[in-house]
């Protein structure tokens, strides 16, 4: 009986002992699994929190990701567990931070890619953050991918899907950031796993080396759109000998009392050892709790639970520190809600209610402590606890530092979009980013400028040395500042004040340039206006005496270098004081303004007109001839034109005023050294002109008067020569390649009674300048038509043509067409036998009028030849529109045609051009048979020159009769 009782007691005792040991080990393992699960969950959620910051940035920028890289680079140091952040507008990855990842992972469509489609669509449908993985990453590692869908408000008021924000967390860094790897050293085996959402298969996330068999404890913890399991067991195995030995001891104890006593002693020792083991496990649990506290303190994240039954909150030390409450104090929802900023309480209440409804909820809000405000982020979820029943569990993270960074970034973004244009480039000056002010100043949008170099703004004004100096200063000082001329998109060149700063890396290498610019167009205009007031007369707007002297000194230096003459004219109105005295200074000022306008109309480009006081004006004429005679003639002509303009009446407020002017003239060249001296001399000349009765021009140098007198004498002789019929026409034959006469050219000669035969080179320019070329040209036209009429009476010469040179001034006369038709009709000639030779200079001005007149005359049968072709500036566009019949090759090309390849090439081109346009070609100046032969090989078959006879009055043809044309100068 004793044996049975002892045996039964032993069995019961051994069973209870095993159960107690297993319960203690299971409790210790459960606590460790819970702590490590919470630590792992907290670390994952902490890293995923960066997606919300990025989402807020995207929403704030209304979906624009242009500033994402700068924002993310500033944000990512606060989340060391994040390996990369991807932006996927529309579901397609397009931007990654950090830049070191290059193109890895870009271009993936998360909604269609088999590896990413499931979690992406879950996130899109739920509108919540999802967690995918672990997955093999493209960089060769394993990691988690958190995806947060971003929705933006549409114009209709609802939300539209913008895209995803993906956060990459590398598994090896995540596990290493917790104490999970230390469990193996402490004698535990563990594994972390989940069920894949698409097929429910078990996916091992991480396990200790050698893990096998069933776990002792398994803790489940929730993550976005998934649940993870943490399995834990002790690495030591139960000793079967010890287990069954206990039963043997009981059996033996039942048989032998002495053995029972020994076994009891042994059992007491084993129980003591078990207590030591429990104590060790308790110590390890306390260390784990301390590690969790430190982790929460580092991440500024606390955890808490709140039974919905109304019981008080439970929370970690870090949670109470964030709430600024003593640990252990009784806390409920109302106490915490009272610390929430009044503007955020509705948001927090809504988050609480959402979590109570079983939905994951989160919120960012402010806590108010006296004068201090702290930002926190809370995550809430609902669960049913075995003992507490329905409750909420959550985390609270202090994000004040992050908010400050975001605010600083926001302020920086606002500053970036200031009034100054800003451009950021890489080290190769390729544009990375611009602001709106840059677009406003340059006209280039972000899409038109990003990716291009800053050279697209170059105006072409600054030379290479300017940009070389800029680069050297940036390299040595790190900054350049100054005024620069750039070009806008529309081609406008404008001034700007530019500051460039070089941004260097820690190693000292330039990585970026930042340029700030101000459009100083208005400032330059103001400066120009002030300068204009300082150098110009306020009444007339002309240069004043100060600017005149400056320009005069410059002109003297310039003309000295070019060995050409210049001139200064000093003008004073005659009897202007009388006008002022009788009509008032107001009308006098108006007359001065009219005088200024008339003088400006006579002022050439590059010349300077000034009002130097009262009714005195001065005119600087630069770049005259290098021959003093020609310069004097030109200046005298300009002076006469000015005097004629001044004599015209001025109509002021219905009144007519008349005045004249006295002009002083002085030429200057290398001999003058002082502008003041020159101005004094020309003023003296003006007074000499005034002393001569006014309405006159006087040169300061008396020797110049002789030249003027000679010119005036020739002009008078020309007028007299017209009246006395001193002009003659000579004719030079035009023949073809067989020697047959095709016609002749009429050439003007002047038989002066005292000077003999005067060369056309001497009197034709003066006739052009004075306008006498018009009556002379009319006389030539009638004489030539009279001679042509005589030829046409002889059948042998009836087919010959007469070529007559027409000057540009003559052609532009309003009655030129009538004059030609009158000559043709009066002398009864065939219009087709009259050929008018025009020079290329006629095509430089008023081309349309020229073409119209030529077509009118051509409609009557009159022919046209383009004289001296190749020496002017003929436009082929106009040439093909002219009703020409012939091109005449200038003698300057024929003269050296046999020795100068260039002349030969020009002649060949002219002949080819004539043929392509359907025009005949004639060469003038042919003096040698070899020249004629060469021209014939070039397909030129009409010639004129000494080889066929010098110009003569008869050409051995019937003598022309006396012309009845009477011409008057």
Q: Are 889 and 920 in contact (CB under 8 A)?
A: no
Beta-bridge partners for 611: 617
CA-based nearest residue to 946, from 717, 633, 732: 732
Q: How far apart are CA 352 and CA 332, in angstroms?
A: 13
The answer to which of 247-261, 326-340, 819-833 has the lowest mean pLDDT is 247-261
> Are the C-beta atoms of 643 and 659 separated by less than 8 Å?
no
Alpha-helical (H) ranges within 628-674 are 628-647
Mean pLDDT computed over 554-573 = 88
> Alpha-carbon distance 298 to 177, whole Å?
12
Q: pLDDT (tens digit, 9 = 90+) per residue, 601-655?
A: 888 888 999 999 889 999 999 888 888 888 889 999 999 999 999 999 999 888 8
Q: C-alpha distances in angstroms, 649 versus 371, 600, 657, 689, 788?
A: 87, 17, 6, 21, 48
Pair 366, 344: CB distance under 8 Å: yes
Helix 628-647 vs helix 702-723: crossing angle, to nearest 10:
70
Find how far residue 367's CA is from the centre of its chain: 48
Q: What angle do CA 371, 372, 375 make, to 5 degrees?
A: 145
Q: 46-55, 577-586, 587-596, 669-678: which has the highest mean pLDDT?
A: 587-596
What token pair was written down for 291?
Answer: 């590690």
Instruction: Report the percentage of the chain scoring pLDDT > 90.
Output: 40
The percent of residues above 70 in pLDDT, for the chain, comes to: 91
Residue 302 burial (10 A CB sphere; 0-12, 13-18, 19+): buried
Mean pLDDT score, 511-516: 93
Residue 736 or 585, more confident: 736
**DSSP β-ladder status, 130-136 and 142-153:** antiparallel
Query: How far apart are alpha carbons 104 and 85 in whole angstroms?
Result: 12
Retrieve residue 950's tokens: 């010098």
Token representation of residue 244? 């069954």
Q: Are 210 and 189 within 8 A, CB to CB? A: yes
Unique residue bearing structure tokens 């004097």: 632
Q: Are strands 421-426 and 431-434 parallel, antiparallel or unpaired?
A: antiparallel
Model pLDDT, residue 609: 94
Q: Quick check: 961 pLDDT over 90?
A: no
Alpha-helical segments (H) within 726-841: 760-770, 773-791, 808-811, 816-827
- Taking the CA atoms of 56, 61, 65 and 67 in sequence, report the sign of the dihedral they define: negative
pLDDT single digits (tens) 545-560: 999 999 988 888 888 7
| pLDDT tens-digit readout, 278-309 | 888 878 777 777 777 777 778 788 888 889 88
Q: Higher model confidence: residue 790 or residue 578? A: 790
The confidence score (pLDDT) of residue 751 equals: 94
Give the residue among 556, 694, 698 at the shortest CA–CA distance from 621.
556
Give the residue from 810, 758, 775, 768 showing the smallest Cα distance to 637: 768
User: For strand 863-869 and strand 834-839, is the pairing parallel, antiparallel, or unpaired?
Assistant: parallel
The 10s digit of each residue's pLDDT in 684-710 is 899 888 878 889 999 886 554 455 567
Q: Give residue 241's pLDDT.
A: 61
pTM here?
Answer: 0.37
What digits encode the pLDDT tens for the residues 329-352?
888 888 888 889 999 999 999 999
Inform me whether the pLDDT recorded for 943 exceeds 80.
yes
More confident residue, 374 or 101: 374
pLDDT in tens, 431-474: 999 999 999 999 999 999 999 999 999 999 998 899 999 999 99
Q: What is the pLDDT of residues 760-814, one digit of tens each?
A: 888 998 898 788 999 999 999 999 999 999 999 988 888 899 999 999 889 989 9
Contact 743, 835 (CB under 8 A): yes
DSSP state of 253: H
Calpha distance 320→318 (Å, rounded): 5
CA distance 135 to 123: 17
Q: How far apart are CA 221 and CA 223, in angstroms?
A: 7
Tokens found for residue 608: 């300077």
Contact predicate 620/551, CB 8 Å: yes
Distance CA(120)–CA(134), nearest Å, equals: 15
Q: How confident is the model at residue 495 (pLDDT cuts 50, 70, 90)?
A: very high
Q: What are φ and ψ of residue 293, in 5° steps? A: -60, -45
Q: Which pLDDT tens digit goes with each residue over 151-203?
A: 988 777 788 889 999 999 988 888 888 888 888 888 888 899 888 877 888 88
In this predicted structure, the answer to whether residue 56 has a pLDDT above a threshold of 50 is yes
- The neighbour count for residue 942, using CB atoms within 10 Å, is 20
pLDDT tens-place string over residues 834-854: 999 998 777 766 788 889 999
Confidence (pLDDT) at 958: 37
Specify the DSSP class assigned to residue 148.
E
Highest mean pLDDT among 2-16, 224-238, 797-811, 874-888: 797-811
DSSP 128: S
Distance CA 125, CA 122 (A): 5
Cis check for the bond before 98: say yes or no (omega within 30 of 0): yes
Integer Rg of the chain from CA:
54
For residues 95-119, one letter each, b for 16 or more C-beta atoms within 10 angstroms of the residue's C-beta and e for the rest, the string is ebbeeebeeebbebebeeeeebebb
Residue-wise pLDDT for 408-432, tens only, equals 777 666 667 777 899 999 999 999 9
CA separation for the pair 929, 735 (Å, rounded)? 13
Would you state the pLDDT for residue 282? 78
Please check whether residue 786 is in contact with residue 961, taking contact to mean a CB–CB distance below 8 angstroms: yes
DSSP class of residue 948 equals G
C-alpha distances (whole Å) from 793 to each of 246, 805, 828 are: 163, 24, 11
Listed as own residue / partner, the contacts of 123-126 with beta carbons closer than 8 Å and 24 or more positions apart are 123/147, 123/148, 123/149, 123/164, 123/225, 124/149, 124/161, 126/225
Q: What angle do CA 165, 44, 140 make, to 5 degrees?
A: 70
Average pLDDT over residues 478-483: 92
Q: What is the pLDDT of residue 957?
A: 46
Least confident of 110-114, 444-448, 717-721: 110-114
| Tokens encoding 699 | 């040169």
Lowest mean pLDDT among 591-600, 738-747, 959-968: 959-968
Taking residue 469's Cβ as centre, other Cβ atoms within 10 Å add up to: 13
pLDDT at 253: 61
- The CA distance from 81 to 173, in Å, is 7
Q: How many residues does this entry show for the chain? A: 969
Q: Please, how many CA atoms are within 13 Å of residue 86, restricted to the half-sphere of its CB?
A: 27
**CA–CA dist 398, 967 (Å, integer):** 110
Q: According to the model, what pLDDT value does residue 246 have?
A: 59
Residue 959: per-residue pLDDT = 39
Mean pLDDT of all residues in 59-70: 82
DSSP H or E run through 167: strand 159-170
Q: Is the pLDDT of residue 855 over 90?
A: yes
Over range 481-489, report the average pLDDT.
93
Distance CA 906, CA 893 (A): 7
pLDDT grade for 962, boundaries at 50, 70 and 90: very low
| pLDDT single digits (tens) 1-55 | 656 776 676 677 667 766 766 777 778 888 888 888 888 888 888 888 888 888 8
> At 40, is the secondary structure helix, strand, or coil?
helix
Alpha-carbon distance values, 808 to 777, 815, 816 (Å): 11, 13, 11
Look at 578 and 478; give whichever has higher pLDDT: 478
Give the mean pLDDT of the chain. Answer: 85
131 with 144: CB under 8 angstroms?
yes
**How confident is the model at residue 872, as a pLDDT?**
60
| pLDDT above 90 (res 270) | no
Q: Which residues contact 153 (CB under 8 A, 6 or more apart)?
A: 159, 160
Neighbours of 360 (CB within 10 A): 16
């Amino acid at each position: 009986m004793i044996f049975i009782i002892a045996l039964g007691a032993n069995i019961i005792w051994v069973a209870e002992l095993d159960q107690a040991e297993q319960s203690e080990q299971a409790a210790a393992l459960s606590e460790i699994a819970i702590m490590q699960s919470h630590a792992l969950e907290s670390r994952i959620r902490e890293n995923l929190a960066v997606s919300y910051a990025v989402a807020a940035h995207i929403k704030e920028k209304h979906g624009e990701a242009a500033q994402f890289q700068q924002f993310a680079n500033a944000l990512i140091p606060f989340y060391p567990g994040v390996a990369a952040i991807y932006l996927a507008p529309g579901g397609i990855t397009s931007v990654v931070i950090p830049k070191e990842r290059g193109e890895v992972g870009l271009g993936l469509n998360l909604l269609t890619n088999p590896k990413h489609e499931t979690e992406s669509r879950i996130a899109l449908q739920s509108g919540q953050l999802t967690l995918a993985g672990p997955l093999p990453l493209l960089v060769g590692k394993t990691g988690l991918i958190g995806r947060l869908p971003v929705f933006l408000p549409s114009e209709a008021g609802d939300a539209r899907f913008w895209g995803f924000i993906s956060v990459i967390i590398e598994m090896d860094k995540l596990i290493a950031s917790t104490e999970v790897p230390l469990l193996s050293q402490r004698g535990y085996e563990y594994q972390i796993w989940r069920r894949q959402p698409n097929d429910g298969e078990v996916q091992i996330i991480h396990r200790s080396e050698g893990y096998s068999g069933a776990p002792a404890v398994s803790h489940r913890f929730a993550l976005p759109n998934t649940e993870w399991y943490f399995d834990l067991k002790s690495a030591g195995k139960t000793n079967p000998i010890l287990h069954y030995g206990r039963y043997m001891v009981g059996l033996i104890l039942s048989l032998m009392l002495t053995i029972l006593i020994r076994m009891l002693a042994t059992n007491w020792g084993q129980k003591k050892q078990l207590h030591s083991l429990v104590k060790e496990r308790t110590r390890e649990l306390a260390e784990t709790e301390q590690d969790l506290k430190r982790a929460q303190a580092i991440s500024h994240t606390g955890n808490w639970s709140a039974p919905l039954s109304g019981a008080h909150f439970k929370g970690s030390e870090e949670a109470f520190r964030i709430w600024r409450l003593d640990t252990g104090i009784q806390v409920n929802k109302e106490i915490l809600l009272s610390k929430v900023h009044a503007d955020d309480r509705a948001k927090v209440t809504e988050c609480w209610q959402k979590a109570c409804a079983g939905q994951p909820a989160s919120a960012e809000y402010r806590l108010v402590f006296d004068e201090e405000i702290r930002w926190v982020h809370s995550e809430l979820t609902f669960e049913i606890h075995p003992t507490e029943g329905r409750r909420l569990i959550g985390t609270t993270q202090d994000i004040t530092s992050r908010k400050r960074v975001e605010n600083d970034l926001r302020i920086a973004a606002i500053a970036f979009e200031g009034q100054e244009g800003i451009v950021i480039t890489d080290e190769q000056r390729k544009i990375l980013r611009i602001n709106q002010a840059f677009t406003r100043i340059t006209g280039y949008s972000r899409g038109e400028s990003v990716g291009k170099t800053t050279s697209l703004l170059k105006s072409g004004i600054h030379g290479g040395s300017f940009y070389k100096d800029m680069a050297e200063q940036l390299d040595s000082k790190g900054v350049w500042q100054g005024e620069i001329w750039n070009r806008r998109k529309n081609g406008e060149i404008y001034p700007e004040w530019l500051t460039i700063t070089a941004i260097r890396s820690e190693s000292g290498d330039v990585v970026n340039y930042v340029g700030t610019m101000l459009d100083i167009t208005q400032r330059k205009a103001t400066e120009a206006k002030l300068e204009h007031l300082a150098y110009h007369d306020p009444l007339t707007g002309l240069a004043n005496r100060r600017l005149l002297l400056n320009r005069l000194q410059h002109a003297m230096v310039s003309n000295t270098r070019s060995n050409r003459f210049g001139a200064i004219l000093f003008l004073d109105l005659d009897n202007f004081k009388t006008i002022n005295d009788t009509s008032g200074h107001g009308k006098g000022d108006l007359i001065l303004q009219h005088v200024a306008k008339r003088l400006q109309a006579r002022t050439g480009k590059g010349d300077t007109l000034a009002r130097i006081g009262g009714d005195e004006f001065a005119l600087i004429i630069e770049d005259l001839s290098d021959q003093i005679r020609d310069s004097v003639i030109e200046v005298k002509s300009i002076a006469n034109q000015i005097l004629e303009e001044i004599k015209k009446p001025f109509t002021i407020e219905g009144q007519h005023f008349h005045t004249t002017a006295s002009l002083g003239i002085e030429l200057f060249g290398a001999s003058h050294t002082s502008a003041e001296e020159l101005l004094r001399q020309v003023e003296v000349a003006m007074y000499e002109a005034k002393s001569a009765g006014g309405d006159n021009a006087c040169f300061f140098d008396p020797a110049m008067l002789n030249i003027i007198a000679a010119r005036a004498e020739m002009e008078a002789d020309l007028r007299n020569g017209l009246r006395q019929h001193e002009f003659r026409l000579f004719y030079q034959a035009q023949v073809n390649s067989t020697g047959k006469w095709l016609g002749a050219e009429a050439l003007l000669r002047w038989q002066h009674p005292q000077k003999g035969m005067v060369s056309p080179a001497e009197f034709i320019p003066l006739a052009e300048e004075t306008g006498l070329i018009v009556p002379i040209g009319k006389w030539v036209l009638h004489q030539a038509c009279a001679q042509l009429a005589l030829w046409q009476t002889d059948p042998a010469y009836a087919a010959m043509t007469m070529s007559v040179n027409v000057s540009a001034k003559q052609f532009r006369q309003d009655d030129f067409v009538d004059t030609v038709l009158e000559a043709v009709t009066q002398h009864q000639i065939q219009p087709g036998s009259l050929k008018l030779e025009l020079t290329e200079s006629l095509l430089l001005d008023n081309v349309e009028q020229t073409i119209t007149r030529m077509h009118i005359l051509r409609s009557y049968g009159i022919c046209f030849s383009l004289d001296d072709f190749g020496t002017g500036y003929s436009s082929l566009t106009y040439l093909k529109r002219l009703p020409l019949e012939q091109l005449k090759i200038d003698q300057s090309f024929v003269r050296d045609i046999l020795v100068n390849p260039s002349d030969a090439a020009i002649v060949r081109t002219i002949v080819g051009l004539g043929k392509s346009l359907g025009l005949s070609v004639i060469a003038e100046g042919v003096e040698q048979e070899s020249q004629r032969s060469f021209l014939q090989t070039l397909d030129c078959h009409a010639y004129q020159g000494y080889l066929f006879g010098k110009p003569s009055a008869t050409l051995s043809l019937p003598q022309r009769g006396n012309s009845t044309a009477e011409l008057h100068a």
